[in-house]
Amino acid sequence: MANKKYVYFFGQGKAEGSAGMKNLLGGKGANLAEMTNLEIPVPAGFTITTEVCTAYYENNQQYPEELWAQVGENLKKVEEAMGAKFGDPQKPLLVSVRSGARVSMPGMMDTVLNLGLNDETVQGVISQTRNERFAYDSYRRFINMFGDVVMGLAHGKFEKIFQAKKNELGVKLDTELDTEALNDIVAKYKALVKQETGKDYPEDPRTQLEMAIGAVFGSWNTERAITYRRLNKIPGDWGTAVNVQSMVYGNMGNDSGTGVAFTRDPATGENVFFGEYLIDAQGEDVVAGIRTPQPINIAQKKGSTLPSLEEEMPQTYKELEEIYKRLENHYTDMQDLEFTIQKGKLFLLQTRVGKRTAAAAIKIAVDMAEEGLIDKPTAVLRVEPGQLDQLLHPMIDPNTKPEVIAKGLPASPGAAVGKIVFTAEKAQEDAEKGEAVVLVRIETSPEDIGGMHAAQGILTARGGMTSHAAVVARGMGKCCVAGCGALEIHGEAGYMSVGDLKIREGDFISLNGSTGQVILGEAKLIKAELSGDFSKLMSWADELRTLKVRTNADTPEDAQVAREFGAEGIGLCRTEHMFFGEERLPIVQEMILADSKEARQKALDQLLPMQKSDFKGIFKAMKDLPVTIRLLDPPLHEFLPKGEELIVQIADLKFQLSSMASLEEIDDLLAQIKEKEYLATKVESLHEFNPMLGHRGCRLGITYPEIYNMQVQAIFEAACELTKEGYSIVPEVMIPLIGDVNEFSYIKKSAIVIAEDVMKRSGVTLKYMLGTMIEIPRAALTADAIAKEAEFFSFGTNDLTQMTFGFSRDDAGVFLPGYVEKKILSEDPFIALDQTGVGQLVQMGVEKGRSVRPDLKVGICGEHGGEPSSVEFCYRVGLNYVSCSPYRVPIARLAAAHARIKEEQA
């Protein structure tokens, strides 16, 4: 390992790295190298590889031996390129130190700017720039940032000193502080560092550099970074690279500035250059959303009174325009750029594939394909299936006139309705109680991630389209209105105000993330309208995929929605849903409480016509498409009141008894007590220690054949009657919870008798199929035996996951989050199919099943059927279809296309 290369240089139009080296150099480093090679103006610098980060954590937080020597060599090259020297009192080189992982984790990790400043070099900066105020401003910013990021002091402590100085001088704006004031602040900052850490702030630039590099690597494993990775499914062992780059300054006066831009609109996907900048500012001022930034061009002003870059520096804007087009063409994807103008000279600090909303992703993909920039499979791959989610959920009804109380930036589209909360903690707390909340913050910071995730939407008073809130919300597919300056937020006092209007914590508001409207009260939501581009992209996806997509739907309404979303059949129609209907529940309870087969049959006779009409509704809604109906699955006690409730009710009645006077009342109470006690006895007799593993599914069907018989009769009567009306129906009857082929055969036998009987009586001959869920590990293990009898399989991966892991989904909440936090599991297996363990059983089930019945139709109907990585897995192991909830059907269609395209490309 002696000659291992840990550091890659870039500068002077030539770089050691390239865009293809993202895993090693991180996204930012690879792109800085690529841009340098494209002869785009980039300040010189070097990248320390992600391997150093991984080695650091694997090796007990020790760096590889060679590292510091290589850093030194490259620092020299940077000095040469920039004609400045690190620590030089005349012409000092200052650098930034930034993280850069394979994928962008905006705001998650630490950055140190202006590194290299000390009491000597600050003089060099003054003599170079002839701008003493700028030099001291940079110096105070550096000590603040270094103290915060590297030495662990709270930012607020610096802020307090800064604010005190402003108060002392009676100024409002930071820019109003003069050199003397800044110089004094620098002295106070240094004293603060000494006092709080017991150590002097390091004057030696080389020490500063090494400490800053360490801090960036350290920031890979902060709580907030871990949370972000968990939410975004980024493996912890990818590590981050560190980029050390010479500083350029956007805060050198009115001929300087800094900004971020997207080569197309990241919210809508429109093919317009889109961006924001701030004059006389450093980069973090834009990203942090502290000042409301200016639009980059005239096209984008949209009513803003601030001047655009195009107007203020037309030459520079042109140069930027030329560069962005070059970059987009080079990368053939929409880019997210960071640039700085230092005294009129443009520098690109970063380019990367830009994050975008789902709508934008679709539009950009379709446009680029139609522009001939990319082909259709690439276009399809450009839209992440999971992203579609934000398009498929309801929007604010445009036909209503909601009470708009303010308007901010339309930072992330969609709509949100919820009660106001002012802290991330409260958002999480209330969301856990099942309440819909809208998180309202002056601005958000990485600490708020959990709360943002929990909220329906996010509203901020400050910050632009690329502020933390906006970027993160778009990534989450969560509605966000940002920079709504009309808001005055008094979180601690529990209210916010807009003009005279006071809105308290707990009051309802609604957000329209597509327009920026903030609405008082609960707005009416409707289904999203899907764009023509959406249909186009989906049709390309449909052409490319082979895996079918069905839906899980229990009602004609759901079936209808799913058809509209492109479902090709029903993969799971749960009949128990129908048992819970208001007018049915009493009959279902009568059936359960029946003491004899006859009494049970009587109740079932009442249920028969109801179930039949349910099935007719569903068959009609899915006309000509296949429908899989699962026979009753849950344990019977689910249909009865809870035992504890009855105990409390009985105790309460007995308590009342002691205060009753009239004999009549007493008689009445006694009668009630008797009835409740009878019910309690029944409930008690049906009580199970582990209902998940209890008397349910086909086990019920075997103990009480009359229940399944009724259901089969209803299915076939419905199908026969509709066949006479001209429908073409092939009922697929699915038997749940099979663990042994004999269970299946036992039920199959009666089902056939009933089906044949119904058909005979109706004079209709139907093709039909009898199949089974594979949701018990033993079913997968003995799938060859089962496939001899069953005509189709459908993997019930919810239950299969429960039993394969031994996790009760209802109870695992106590320890599963800790498992993901402690990296024991990389993901919640109830969200993404566990391909390592559960996946083995799925694959085994498919292979064993097809070994005896080669044309066995196999699907999946667990919730994983709508989760992209799981859909791809299903394709790889050869399933015929996935089935998911109606709103996830397009996601599954797209994921199925991705799977096919990736396979073809591999």
* Catalytic-residue membership of 861: yes
Sort residue 372 into left (φ over 0), alpha (ψ -120 to 50) or beta: left
Residue 78 contacts residue 44 (beta carbons within 8 Å) = yes
Structure tokens at 706: 């009359």
- Distance of closest approach, residue 754 Cβ to a second copy, in angstroms: 18
The catalytic position among 453, 468, 637, 898 is 468
Count H helices and E strands in the chain, helices first: 35, 34
Structure tokens at 663: 């004999």
- Distance of closest approach, residue 802 Cβ to a second copy, in angstroms: 6
Residue 473 contacts residue 480 (beta carbons within 8 Å) = yes
- Distance of closest approach, residue 747 Cβ to a second copy, in angstroms: 10
Structure tokens at 15: 């770089």
Instruction: Name the residue nearer to a second copy (CB basis): 36 or 804.
Output: 804
Other C-beta atoms closer than 10 Å to the C-beta of 272 total 13
- Distance of closest approach, residue 638 Cβ to a second copy, in angstroms: 11
- Distance of closest approach, residue 691 Cβ to a second copy, in angstroms: 7
- Distance of closest approach, residue 734 Cβ to a second copy, in angstroms: 17
Q: What is the DSSP string of 544-605?
A: H--SEEEEE-SSHHHHHHHHHTT--SEEEEETHHHHTSTTTHHHHHHHHH-SSHHHHHHHHH
- Distance of closest approach, residue 748 Cβ to a second copy, in angstroms: 12
- Distance of closest approach, residue 234 Cβ to a second copy, in angstroms: 18
Footprint on this chain of a second copy (rule: CB under 8 A): 643-644, 647-648, 651-652, 654-655, 658-659, 688-695, 699, 702-703, 737, 739-740, 742-743, 746, 775-778, 781-782, 785, 799, 802-808, 810-812, 814-815, 818-819, 822-825, 834, 836-838, 840-841
Return the DSSP state at 466: T
Contacts of 362 (CB under 8 A, 6+ apart): 269, 383, 391, 531, 533, 534, 537
Return d(Cα 813, Cα 810) in angstroms, integer: 7
Instruction: Name the residue nearer to a second copy (CB basis): 681 or 742.
Output: 742
Cα of first residue to Cα of last residue in the chain, in angstroms, is: 32
The residues pairing with 85 across neighbouring beta strands, listed in sequence order, are 92
Return d(Cα 395, Cα 737) in angstroms, integer: 38
- Distance of closest approach, residue 692 Cβ to a second copy, in angstroms: 4
Structure tokens at 74: 């490259």
Instruction: Name the residue nearer to a second copy (CB basis): 176 or 811.
Output: 811
Three-class DSSP category at 260: strand
Structure tokens at 284: 């973090």
Return d(Cα 244, Cα 92) in angstroms, integer: 15
Structure tokens at 186: 């620098």
Nearest CA to 40 out of 327, 432, 384, 363 is that of 327
- Distance of closest approach, residue 247 Cβ to a second copy, in angstroms: 42
Return d(Cα 343, Cα 670) in angstroms, integer: 91
Q: Which long-range contacts (CB under 8 A, 24 or more apart) does 155-164 make?
A: 157/192, 157/196, 158/189, 158/192, 161/185, 161/188, 161/189, 161/192
* Catalytic-residue membership of 330: no
- Distance of closest approach, residue 635 Cβ to a second copy, in angstroms: 9
Instruction: Name the residue nearer to a second copy (CB basis): 68 or 807.
Output: 807
Instruction: Name the residue nearer to a second copy (CB basis): 186 or 700.
Output: 700
Instruction: Name the residue nearer to a second copy (CB basis): 504 or 642.
Output: 642
Return d(Cα 437, Cα 457) in angstroms, integer: 7
Instruction: Name the residue nearer to a second copy (CB basis): 401 or 689.
Output: 689
The residues pairing with 346 across neighbouring beta strands, listed in sequence order, are 341
Instruction: Name the residue nearer to a second copy (CB basis): 605 or 644.
Output: 644
Instruction: Name the residue nearer to a second copy (CB basis): 251 or 802.
Output: 802
Structure tokens at 584: 């049915």
Return d(Cα 813, Cα 811) in angstroms, integer: 5
The catalytic position among 480, 861, 874, 884 is 861
Order of strands, sheet of 495-498, starting from the edge strand that comes earlier in the sequence: 487-490, 495-498, 501-504
Phi then psi for residue 765, to 5 deg, are -110, 120
- Distance of closest approach, residue 702 Cβ to a second copy, in angstroms: 7
Return d(Cα 308, Cα 504) in angstroms, integer: 37
Instruction: Name the residue nearer to a second copy (CB basis): 214 or 705.
Output: 705
Return d(Cα 471, Cα 465) in angstroms, integer: 7
Return the DSSP state at 146: I
Structure tokens at 160: 């307090």
Residue 171 contacts residue 109 (beta carbons within 8 Å) = no
Query: Which residues are designated catalytic?
Result: 468, 861
